[in-house]
């Protein structure tokens, strides 16, 4: 029998790295941090050092870690029912579907387990709706350059970034990418074979890049006029992160289909596709399914997440605290105009674009106890829990300022 070593205070990062290299597929470039536990907006490593979590497990733990009310739901629900499959009626998923549809203009929900799966469901629904319900030979999905929609073959095909597609050809057909924010090229790309347009309201992996409201409203009118489905990927932007329950609500959009995942169950794997009554006609029993989707445990946790987001007015808080953070970052940019190119975002989805590759700055922030993400090589991306203390954002800004000052001294 091989010896299995469990987490303890003697565990070092080097030991974990060495073990991982032997047993896991090499899919991840990890942060040099092993997380032993987490609470609120703090991560704790095996040596007991605390870090301010400004990433929330990539926009997942919107309510923070180890939330007491969610732990109660997990305990109670796990003792009653965890899984039976979608062969059976389960009240837990109906409660969640009723709560979710009450937050938006969509009428129906399909539950799954991840963001990619939610987008995959959206793509399948769009194709089947067009081909079977509308009787049209329309299967193409148009997405934007810089977008990220997932790692399954179809969602990779929809993703507007070449680097993640390398080595996976042939990808499924029927996907076209047009330039981000350029309405003319979108208009040109739509034809009688187009089933849907798929967009993120703010591109996340693409570098915290928002589409402006004017573009989004034109897009909605255009899709309606051309009989094409408007699909919004809210996997990262949803669940209150951008200051409204769903980011598309800022622009007053009413998408035919939208997807969510990440923060839906605050850390338990869950995804959902929501759609209008009309678009939902695309699926009938047997046309799409998943074993785990909408299981009783994840559904009851997600229902509690929705309750807490609404009760504690966390989308509104995200909007208010996000504005404060943007003001702080704008102040920093005024001090370091040669180092910070732009600051942007909405709610608590924030980006600080550096004028140079940001690896060193990102690493210095981590060493100083702040966990953020670096995307597109130069953009510091912050996705803190929606309950983050304003003090933590002030501390981060001050620390970033000190790091940039050291950089300036080094370069001069
Ligand atoms: C906008 C967006 N869509 C889809 C996905 C894929 O989600 P998952 O990793 O849960 O499959 C992500 C993940 O980062 C995302 O940011």
Q: Are strands 50-53 and 42-45 parallel, antiparallel or unpaired?
A: antiparallel
Query: pLDDT confidence of 6, banded at 50, 70, 90?
Result: very low
pLDDT digit string, tens, across residues 29-74: 999 999 999 999 999 999 999 999 999 999 999 999 999 999 999 9
The overall average pLDDT reported for the chain is 96
What residues does 256 pair with on adjacent strands? none
Q: What is the pTM of this model?
A: 0.96
Question: How do the domains of the chain map onto residue ranges?
Answer: 51-60+313-411, 68-311
pLDDT score of 9? 63
Spacing, Cα 241 to ligand 1 middle (Å): 14
Asked whether 115 lines ligand 1 (CB < 6 A), one says: yes
Separation between Cα atoms, residue 115 and residue 125, nearest integer Å = 15
Asked whether 160 lines ligand 1 (CB < 6 A), one says: no
Query: pLDDT confidence of 351, banded at 50, 70, 90?
Result: very high
- pLDDT exceeds cutoff 80 at 407: yes
Report residue 301 as tokens: 């946790």
Spacing, Cα 170 to ligand 1 middle (Å): 21
Contacts of residue 266, Cβ cutoff 8 Å, sequence gap at least 6? 60, 61, 62, 63, 67, 70, 301, 302, 305
Q: What counts of helices (H) and strands (E) characterise the chain?
A: 13, 17
Asked whether 114 lines ligand 1 (CB < 6 A), one says: yes
Question: Residue 119 CA: which ligand 1 atom is closest?
Answer: 4
Report residue 283 as tokens: 């699926």
pLDDT digit string, tens, across residues 210-255: 999 999 999 999 999 999 999 999 999 999 999 999 999 999 999 9
pLDDT digit string, tens, across residues 163-196: 999 999 999 999 999 999 999 999 999 999 999 9
pLDDT digit string, tens, across residues 128-173: 999 999 999 999 999 999 999 999 999 999 999 999 999 999 999 9
Separation between Cα atoms, residue 341 and residue 22, nearest integer Å = 41
**Topology of the domain comprising 68-311:** 3.40.640
pLDDT score of 4? 45
Cα angle vertex 156, ends 150, 162, to 5°? Answer: 115
- pLDDT exceeds cutoff 60 at 25: yes
Whose Cα sits closest to atom 8 in ligand 1?
115
Spacing, Cα 208 to ligand 1 middle (Å): 14
The answer to whether the CB of 200 falls within 8 A of the CB of 233 is yes
Separation between Cα atoms, residue 124 and residue 118, nearest integer Å = 10
How many residues are recorded in the chain? Answer: 412
Report residue 350 as tokens: 């924030």
Chain centroid to CA 205: 9
Query: pLDDT confidence of 98, banded at 50, 70, 90?
Result: very high
**Topology of the domain comprising 51-60+313-411:** 3.90.1150
pLDDT score of 11? 81
pLDDT digit string, tens, across residues 277-317: 999 999 999 999 999 999 999 999 999 999 999 999 999 99
Q: Are strands 140-144 and 175-178 parallel, antiparallel or unpaired?
A: parallel
What whole-number percentage of the chain has pLDDT above 70?
98
């Amino acid at each position: 029998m091989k010896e299995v070593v469990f987490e303890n205070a003697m565990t070092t990062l080097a030991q974990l790295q060495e073990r991982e290299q032997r047993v896991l597929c090499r899919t991840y470039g990890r942060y040099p941090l092993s997380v032993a536990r987490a609470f609120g907006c703090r991560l704790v490593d095996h040596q007991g050092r605390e870090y301010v979590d400004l990433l929330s497990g990539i926009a997942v733990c919107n309510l923070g870690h180890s939330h007491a009310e969610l732990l109660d739901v997990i305990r109670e629900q796990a003792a009653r029912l965890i899984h039976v499959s979608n062969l059976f009626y389960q009240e837990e998923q109906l409660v969640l579907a009723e709560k979710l549809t009450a937050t938006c203009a969509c009428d129906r929900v399909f539950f799954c387990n991840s963001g990619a799966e939610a987008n995959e469901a959206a793509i399948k629904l769009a194709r089947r709706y067009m081909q079977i319900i509308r009787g049209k030979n329309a299967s193409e999905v148009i997405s934007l350059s810089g977008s990220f929609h997932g790692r399954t073959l179809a969602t990779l095909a929809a993703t507007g970034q070449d680097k993640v597609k390398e080595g996976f050809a042939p990808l499924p057909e029927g996907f076209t990418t047009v330039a981000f924010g350029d309405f003319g090229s979108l208009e040109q790309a739509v034809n009688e074979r187009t089933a849907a347009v798929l967009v993120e309201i703010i591109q996340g992996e693409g570098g915290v890049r928002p589409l402006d409201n004017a573009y989004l409203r034109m897009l909605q009118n255009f899709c309606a006029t051309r009989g094409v489905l408007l699909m919004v990927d809210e996997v990262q932007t949803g669940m209150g992160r951008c200051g409204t329950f769903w980011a598309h609500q800022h622009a007053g959009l009413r998408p035919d289909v939208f997807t969510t995942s990440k923060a839906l169950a605050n850390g338990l794997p869950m995804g959902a596709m929501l759609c209008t009554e009309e678009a939902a006609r695309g699926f009938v029993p047997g046309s799409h399914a998943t074993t785990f989707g909408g299981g009783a445990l994840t559904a009851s946790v997600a229902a509690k997440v929705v309750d807490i987001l609404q009760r504690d007015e966390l989308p509104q808080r995200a909007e208010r605290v996000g504005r404060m953070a943007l003001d702080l970052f704008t102040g920093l940019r005024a001090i370091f105009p040669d180092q910070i190119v732009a600051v942007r975002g909405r709610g608590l989805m924030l980006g600080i674009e550096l004028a140079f590759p940001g690896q060193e700055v990102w690493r210095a922030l981590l060493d100083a106890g702040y966990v953020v993400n670096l995307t597109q090589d130069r953009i510091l991306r912050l996705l803190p829990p929606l309950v983050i203390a304003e003090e933590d954002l002030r501390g981060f800004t001050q620390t970033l300022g000190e790091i940039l000052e050291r950089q300036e001294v080094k370069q001069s």
